[in-house]
Structure 1
Amino acid sequence: MKNKPKFILGITLSLLSLIFLIIGIVYNLIFFLISLVMLFLGIYILMSWSTKNYKWICEVCGESFEISLKENVFGINSGIYYKTLYCPKCHKKTLCKGVAK
């Protein structure tokens, strides 16, 4: 698995931010805002990690392609390792399987 430290960092930041978020709601607004920033930073790191480490295969034509961070964030998930994406070869919105590079 490439970039494993980024994956672990993203998961860690996300979990810590959720803990801090709960504590922040109870104690003060500044702590709450810091934890919210950490949450979004952790999500961003995880999404950029998955964008760089996965390629997608169209189930209609078999084309293998990479997607952008925007497509990864806004693509509709259809289960584990599946997304509904536009295929660059057949130009259709199809179910695509994610495989590690």
Structure 2
Amino acid sequence: MGLKQEDVAKSLGIPRSALSNVEAGTRKVGAIELSRLAKLYLRPLTWFTGEDTGIGLVLPKEVAHVARAAATLSRRDRQELARFAEFLKSRARGKGGSDGR
């Protein structure tokens, strides 16, 4: 959404350094903060907990884990992860199977 850390921190009512710790996974998010995040990003609470993928399907447990891990990566690293996923899909197509074997 193009928001700066400072803007998000103000919206949550926490210092920017605390938001940085949330992003790094070293600080937990309280219920009120989570509710404010949901409003700020126009998402349901379940989207932040991994219960709602936002696209109407349930992800397998290992895929949801990868998605949560990817959310902590930099934008550049997420783009690299997306390219790697595309590579794996094309490799699987080239081998005639969808399981990558």
TM-score, with structure 1 as normaliser: 0.26
* Structure with greater helix share of residues: 2
Identify which of structures 1 and 2 has the higher relative contact order when contacts are C-alpha pairs closer than 8 Å and 6+ apart. 1
TM-score, with structure 2 as normaliser: 0.26
